[in-house]
Chains A and B, each alone.
Chain A
Amino acid sequence: MSSDPAPLLTLSGVNTHIGPYHILQGVDLAVPRGSLTMLLGRNGAGKTTTLRTIMGLWHASAGAVRFDGADITAWATPDIAQAGIAYVPENMGIFADLTVRENLVLAARSGPIDETRLRWIFSLFPALERFWSLAAGVLSGGQKQMLSIARAIIEPRRLFLIDEPTKGLAPAIIANMIEAFRELKKNPDTTILVVEQNFLFAKSLGDTVAVMDNGRVVHAGAMAALAEDRRLQQRLLGLSLDQHQ
């Protein structure tokens, strides 16, 4: 992890309304620099809304989102992205009518794709090299997820927000994803916030964890501590690891 003690991202008392619904009800969250933080919680707890609020896709009605000290609560989404935050949405958000290459060309905002970095991405996700000129819409679900993550990492970014990267994926692809995230974590300047339902995936990668329920963060701490405390898992997530092993 980075030596700077201040968290890279903090949410303080964030409330978000979507139409008549009050989804986030005072979220407090700190994402340490250089860490991989897992955001867990039951369906409907507000995890995706938290990521979308950070990204400015929905605006907080109260509270503050601070990124590296700057208050980005009211910023427009493109400005937040330009500040160095990459986002992989739950539906992957790939451009189906564009080729794999074109998807990555768009994601490389600052200019032509860096060849060395592209080779590195191909080593993580060889399928992308193989299907370079194919329309992204014809890729399988796993390949689309690889593309969506490749798009986020095609250029160095300071914070990655990734929403359920293993959703609906086969075990072999999930193993590939775990390997890719381990690779990403090797860079000490990389900070990642992952929303996840797969506890085994979360346990194998997370440095820190935050658990949400009813639009609030109800637990935050080290991932290792939660992984060892089955009663806490049962209480927070309603699961028993025994059932998953």
Chain B
Amino acid sequence: MTAPATPAPVLPAPAQRRDFAPLLLVPLLALTALPLIGDWSTWVTLTVAGLAMGMIIFVVASGLTLVFGLMDVLNFGHGAFISVGAYAAAALAPSLSGLTQTDSLALNIVALLALIALAMAVTGALGYAFERIIIMPVYGQHLKQILVTVGGLIVTEQLIIAVFGPVQIALPLPAAFRGSIVLGDVAIERYRVIAVVVGLVVFTAMLLVLGRTKIGLLIRAGVENGEMVEALGYHIRRLFVGVFIAGSALAGLGGVMWGFYREALTPAMGMDVMVLVFIVVVIGGLGSVGGCFIGALLVAVTANYTGFLAPKLALGSNILLMALILLWRSRGLYPVAKR
């Protein structure tokens, strides 16, 4: 290997612009809402509750956006993993009552981690089966994907009804997570802080994996141009199965967090959350984890503010938000450059 005789032409440096505008949306929305709400402590309560809810939605939606981005798979059955994760935790929770009913924060955290581990293991395994049995036969066929994944969701929901019954069941918070932290005249529920922390941990872990590891590079490259990833010698379907399992496990984690957030579970809870999750995935830009994060916070905070300021608009507020975002950026906040 020697240097070439002819020097390469000198080329101008390209300009690289970082896109910060979407990052400002949540702070701008929060600042706009403050004078409308009027009361500082109410505003803090609503904002923290929105951030907590947003983090949980992000945990659920992040896997779905990668699944769609990587293999163009529309998985309407993602909600099944939310429900199964939550019910798996509810099934184990009574046997951990010794850990959950004590006031020891450390023991409560151990119990929460055990419930999360079980939920993620169950939903990860279910995700593997779901991908092999339901998704694999319909690669590249969007209409069939919608039909069979909705079918998978319905079957799962009915199985939950068969095992746990059709009525709502309780998932009480561990003792040390109940109550509020009072700062001056502001009261913040402890569990919401925990939800924010869990969401941040998941987001940071995802950023580290996607940005610092070869697997992460492969996922990002695969979302952009799967064919080229294959031409470089990597089996993208194996990668997809791994992402699908991880996404399912994250939905299971989200299900546990959501169950504790509401302290109650219903067999249809997965389907209910999926409406918000799809809005988040579309707002964020299909396949974009960063966009998904901002989208989740936006959706949740908007829902909370609207629910307080104009309860009659609360149901439609997220649809309106999605329409506004898509009018501004038709492919979402951070569109992934598809080939």
Where the two chains meet, the residues of A that have a C-beta atom closer than 8 Å to any C-beta of B are 55, 57, 76-78, 81-82, 87, 89, 91, 93, 95-98, 102, 105-107, 109, 116-117, 120, 123-127, 130-131, 134-135, 137-140, 142-143, 151, 170, 172-173, 175-176, 179-180, 182-183, 186
Contact = CB atoms under 8 A, between A and B. Distances in A.
In the A-B complex, list the 4 residue pairs whose CB atoms are closest, starting with the nearest. Answer: A81-B233, A93-B228, A120-B1, A123-B3
Interface of B: 1-9, 11-16, 214, 217-218, 220-221, 224-225, 227-236, 336-337, 339
Nearest to A170: B9
A91 B228 CA distance: 10
A95 to B, nearest CB: 4
Nearest to A123: B3
Contacts of A151: 232
A217 B181 CA distance: 77
Contacts of A81: 230-233
Given A116-B1, A139-B14, A78 B230 contact: yes
Majority secondary structure, A binding face: helix
Contacts of B228: 89, 93, 95
Nearest to A88: B231
A183 B1 CA distance: 8
Nearest to A93: B228
Q: Which of B1, B2, B225 has the most CB of A within 10 A?
A: B1
Nearest to A119: B1
B227 A93 contact: yes
Given A98-B217, A134-B16, A183 B4 contact: yes
Nearest to A84: B233
Contact of A134 (B3, B14, B229, B232): B14
A84 to B, nearest CB: 10
Nearest to A142: B11
20 contacts: A76-B230, A78-B233, A81-B230, A81-B231, A91-B339, A93-B339, A96-B224, A97-B220, A98-B221, A98-B224, A106-B221, A109-B232, A109-B234, A125-B8, A127-B11, A130-B11, A131-B14, A139-B14, A143-B11, A183-B1
A173 B6 CA distance: 11
A95 B13 CA distance: 19
Contact of A179 (B6, B12, B224): B6
B164 to A, nearest CB: 43
Contacts of A87: 231
A106 B216 CA distance: 10
